[in-house]
Amino acid sequence: MIIAVFYFVIVNSKEAEADYQSVTKKWYGFRSKWFLFLITLGITITFLSLNPFPLPDQKKEYSSSEYQVVTVDGHQWYWNIAPVTIKAGQPVEFQVSAADVNHGFGIYDENLKLVAQTQAMPGYTNKLIHTFDKPGKFKILCLEYCGLAHHAMISELTVE
């Protein structure tokens, strides 16, 4: 039975070889067009869905008169932030570090919507540049679980 099946396939495959050429020609042509169509579609969708990067340029150099520096230190379980009052409309450079373990420095607006964030790491100072458009009270919460009282790491930042 198996030999019969093999024999049938071998005999028929030789007969089919004659029109295989026309089939490959037709479908190779289709395949090339389909490939070009997908490449064009991919590039078009990529360009149409491009958005400006949501963060300001973190490498930009500001002159000292136009920006404010705030130092931030994360501790178990509180923040050391100086100064806690800043001006709206001027870029703020947060210099964020930690004294003990990793913390997450998260700035939230009045509706507890995350405005900006960076990692607070012992031994490193991470720079975060953010400009507050309007005055208000902002909450600083820890974004990374850092021990028992992690939830209590709440501070406030006043933008005038």
List interacting residues with Cu ion (CB under 5 A).
Answer: 103, 142, 146, 153
Q: In the complex with Cu ion, which residue's Cβ is closer, 68 or 101?
A: 101
Q: How many CB atoms lie within 10 A of CB 148?
A: 9
Rounded to a whole number of angstroms, the minimum distance from the CB of residue 147 to Cu ion is 7
Rounded to a whole number of angstroms, the minimum distance from the CB of residue 151 to Cu ion is 9
Two structure tokens written together for 39: 């490449």
Q: In the complex with Cu ion, which residue's Cβ is closer, 96 or 153?
A: 153
Residue pair 157/140 in contact by the 8 Å Cβ criterion:
yes
Q: In the complex with Cu ion, which residue's Cβ is closer, 70 or 153?
A: 153
At a CB cut-off of 8 Å and minimum separation 6, what does 103 contact?
74, 119, 120, 142, 143, 144, 146, 153
Rounded to a whole number of angstroms, the minimum distance from the CB of residue 121 to Cu ion is 11
